[in-house]
Amino acid sequence: MVIVDNDIVKHFKLNFIPMTEKENVSKPNLGMKVFHETIYNGKELMKVVGIRESEAELEGDYSGGTQPVTQKSWLPIGGLFRLIKVCEQVEKFGSCQLHNVHCGFPNCHPYVDINENKI
Write the pLDDT tens digit of every residue in 37-67: 999 889 899 999 999 999 999 999 888 778 8
The helix (H) or strand (E) run that includes residue 35 is strand 33-36
Write the pLDDT tens digit of every residue in 73-105: 999 999 999 988 877 767 677 766 666 555 665
Q: Which residue has the higher pLDDT, 21 or 76?
A: 76
Strand partners, 71: 60
pLDDT value, residue 9: 43
The helix (H) or strand (E) run that includes residue 74 is strand 71-76
Question: How many domains, in total, are found in the chain?
Answer: 1
Using DSSP's 3-state secondary structure scheme, residue 71 falls into strand
pLDDT value, residue 80: 96
CA distance 82 to 11: 26
CA geometry: angle 116, 61, 107, nearest 5 deg: 25
Q: Is residue 15 part of a domain?
A: yes
Q: Is residue 29 part of a domain?
A: yes
pLDDT value, residue 8: 43
This prediction has a pTM of 0.71
Q: Is residue 41 part of a domain?
A: yes
pLDDT value, residue 104: 63
**pLDDT band at 110, cuts 50/70/90?**
confident
Q: Which residue has the higher pLDDT, 96 or 23?
A: 23
Q: What is the DSSP string of 97-111?
A: SSTTTT--TTTTS-E
pLDDT value, residue 69: 86
Q: Is residue 63 part of a domain?
A: yes
One-letter amino acid at 53 equals E
Q: Are 84 and 110 in contact (CB under 8 A)?
A: yes
Domain around 105:
6-112
